[in-house]
């Protein structure tokens, strides 16, 4: 049996929301938001922040910091032996909790802190008022934001313009819909109902960015205020990254928690989980209708903990776009999970930090009613996945802080087509702010079985319309494609 000295538990949580009004006066950089969340988390559990021996920070995209974890430690008076700053990735909070728990279980740590936050709403507010954030926010260490792209995309994705998540995730959605035999209308309605449920949850979350409940009809209806972004996703089911939110969690050994006087009914045990990653080139994967990495982490997490989906009282899934909870639900044989956080559209999508807020919400839910929860984080384009189990029931730590490579070879690639008929494997069409189709993104198979990926030229409305769902199901449609420079011209076959 694991001794109390090596049993990892989650004991303190804190989160904050700032400048929802998007004013210049209220604009604060991410660091003070993060420190405020840390103060809330340590007050939540009564742990002395000077006792921290490890600090982990999730990547901040809205402002750059050198050694953020060390800077947070200094601000709260801690002198940790171990600090970690990550690169971008929505899986990072779950991954860091796993890492912190594994170190505690191995005897290398007793009191750890995980932090993250964003202030993109304030960045936007300052720029809109002609103010460079660098005139007001920290520069040493710190400065204008950076975005580390390593491991997130490929040359092929860059060449075809498929680097924006708003363009890539619809490819998975459309492929999954077709594989399940759903019509575009059925799948769109399911997405709207799911995100309406998210909005109901967000309405009860004290730091939700959009706490007003929305109906499925509102979310499904495309029009002013809810324009189509990339088919089939209107704005209402896209992640909302323009937020000011921060969160922090305190993880300790059970012995350290008891020494700090944390009440037993506020302790959440970290059972552990698993991580996996797929090919960074989303266009090279075998299928757009499934995620090998996601399936792998769910299976390994449940196997390690000895649980089935029916044993879970809460399943909180990363929900940047509807296809992610849909894939989780399909793999587990349940409806797409709604969870207890509120989703990226309603609660807000603070980029890599969202799952840290999920841990806050899950902890509150377990403290209130007991039970067991699975928390999931997703990074890249269904590229990096991590899931883990936490519970009010004590358990040996059984997690794996590593990440398994689940990449498998995809089909051969064709780089040029010359007026030949191809079969649409999946596609999406980006709409302009005027609501009209503006650019299409095609993934197709040639007669020989090779995969051909290309985008139509911006402004080539005729080609974009051929790929649009306005004509019904796209997947499986035969079209005539001709490579012209960097783009493709698409005509009805």
| Of 143 and 324, more confident | 324
Q: How many CA atoms lie within 13 A of 124 on its CB side?
A: 13
pLDDT digits (tens, 9 = 90+) for 347-380: 999 999 999 999 999 999 999 999 999 999 999 9
Rounded distance between C-alpha atoms, residue 423 and residue 310, angstroms: 40
Place 138 in a pLDDT band, splitting at 50, 70 and 90.
confident
Tally of structural domains, the chain: 2
pLDDT digits (tens, 9 = 90+) for 298-316: 999 999 999 999 999 999 9
The CATH number covering residue 350 comes to 3.40.47.10
Q: Provide the domain limits for residue 131.
A: 4-140+241-405
pLDDT digits (tens, 9 = 90+) for 26-67: 999 999 999 999 999 999 999 999 999 999 999 999 999 989
Place 139 in a pLDDT band, splitting at 50, 70 and 90.
confident
For range 76-82, the mean pLDDT: 98
Question: At a CB cut-off of 8 Å and minimum separation 6, what does 468 contact?
Answer: 231, 429, 437, 440, 474
| Of 139 and 492, more confident | 492
- Which residue, 429, 360, 375, 24, is CA-closest to 207? 360
Q: What is the chain's mean pLDDT, rounded?
A: 95
What is the predicted pLDDT for the residue at 155?
A: 86
Rounded distance between C-alpha atoms, residue 153 and residue 438, angstroms: 23
For range 122-140, the mean pLDDT: 92
Q: Is the pLDDT of residue 143 over 80?
A: no
For range 375-402, the mean pLDDT: 97
Q: Is 309 a member of any domain?
A: yes
- Are 405 and 392 a contacting pair, CB within 8 Å? no
- Are 271 and 390 a contacting pair, CB within 8 Å? yes
Residue 58 shares a structural domain with residue 94 = yes
For range 213-225, the mean pLDDT: 96
Pick the last residue of a domain from 374, 405, 436: 405
What is the predicted pLDDT for the residue at 141?
A: 61
Rounded distance between C-alpha atoms, residue 334 and residue 329, angstroms: 5
Q: Is 190 a member of any domain?
A: no
For range 83-106, the mean pLDDT: 97
Rounded distance between C-alpha atoms, residue 357 and residue 247, angstroms: 6
Q: Is the pLDDT of residue 175 over 90?
A: yes
For range 329-342, the mean pLDDT: 98
Q: Which residues pair with 8 in a beta bridge?
A: 253
For range 168-182, the mean pLDDT: 98
- Are 93 and 246 a contacting pair, CB within 8 Å? no
What is the predicted pLDDT for the residue at 154?
A: 82
- Which residue, 480, 460, 466, is CA-closest to 428? 466
pTM of the model: 0.96
Residue 381 shares a structural domain with residue 433 = no
Residue 335 shares a structural domain with residue 396 = yes
Residue 351 shares a structural domain with residue 277 = yes
């Amino acid at each position: 049996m694991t001794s109390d000295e090596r049993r990892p538990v989650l004991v303190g949580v804190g989160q904050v929301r700032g400048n929802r009004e998007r004013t210049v006066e209220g604009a604060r950089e991410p660091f003070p938001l993060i420190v405020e969340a840390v103060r809330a988390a340590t007050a939540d559990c009564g742990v002395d922040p000077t006792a921290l021996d490890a600090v982990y920070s999730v990547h901040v995209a809205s402002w750059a910091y050198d050694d953020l974890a060390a800077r947070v430690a200094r601000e709260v008076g801690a002198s940790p032996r171990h600090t970690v700053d990550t690169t971008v990735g929505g899986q990072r909070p779950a991954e860091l909790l796993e890492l912190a728990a594994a170190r505690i279980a191995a005897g290398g740590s007793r009191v750890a802190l995980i932090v993250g936050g964003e202030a993109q709403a304030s960045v936007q507010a300052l720029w809109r008022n002609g103010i460079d954030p660098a005139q007001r926010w920290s520069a040493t260490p710190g400065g204008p934001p950076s975005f580390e792209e390593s491991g997130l995309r490929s040359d092929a994705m860059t060449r075809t313009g498929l680097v924006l998540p708003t363009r890539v995730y619809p490819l998975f959605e459309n492929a999954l819909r077709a594989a399940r035999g759903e019509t575009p209308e059925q799948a769109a309605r399911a997405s709207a109902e799911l995100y309406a449920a998210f909005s109901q949850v967000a309405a009860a979350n004290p730091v939700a960015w959009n706490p007003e409940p929305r109906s499925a009809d509102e979310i499904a209806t495309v029009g002013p205020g809810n324009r189509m972004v990339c088919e089939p996703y209107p704005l209402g089911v896209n992640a909302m990254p323009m937020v000011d939110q921060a969160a922090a969690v305190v993880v300790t050994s059970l012995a350290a928690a008891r020494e700090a006087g944390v009440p037993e009914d506020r302790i959440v045990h970290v059972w552990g989980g698993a991580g996996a990653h797929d090919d960074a080139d989303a266009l090279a994967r075998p299928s757009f209708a499934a995620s090998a990495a996601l399936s792998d982490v769910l299976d390994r997490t449940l196997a390690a903990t000895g649980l089935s989906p029916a044993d879970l009282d809460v399943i909180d899934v990363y929900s940047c776009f509807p296809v992610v909870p849909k894939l989780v639900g399909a793999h587990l044989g349940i409806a797409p999970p709604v969870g207890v956080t509120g989703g990226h559209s309603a609660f807000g999508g603070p980029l890599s930090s969202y799952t840290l807020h999920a841990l806050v919400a899950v902890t509150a839910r377990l403290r209130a009613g007991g039970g067991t929860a699975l928390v999931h984080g997703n990074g890249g384009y269904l590229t990096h996945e991590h899931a883990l189990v936490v519970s009010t029931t004590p358990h040996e730590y059984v997690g794996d802080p590593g990440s398994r490579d689940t990449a498998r070879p995809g089909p051969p690639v064709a780089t040029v087509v010359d007026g030949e008929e191809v079969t649409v494997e999946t596609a999406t069409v980006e709409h302009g702010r005027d609501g009209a189709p503006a650019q299409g993104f095609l993934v197709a198979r040639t007669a020989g079985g090779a995969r051909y990926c290309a985008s139509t030229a911006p402004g080539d409305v005729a080609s974009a319309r051929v790929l649009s769902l306005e004509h019904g199901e796209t997947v499986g449609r035969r079209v005539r494609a001709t490579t012209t420079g960097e783009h493709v011209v698409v005509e009805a076959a």
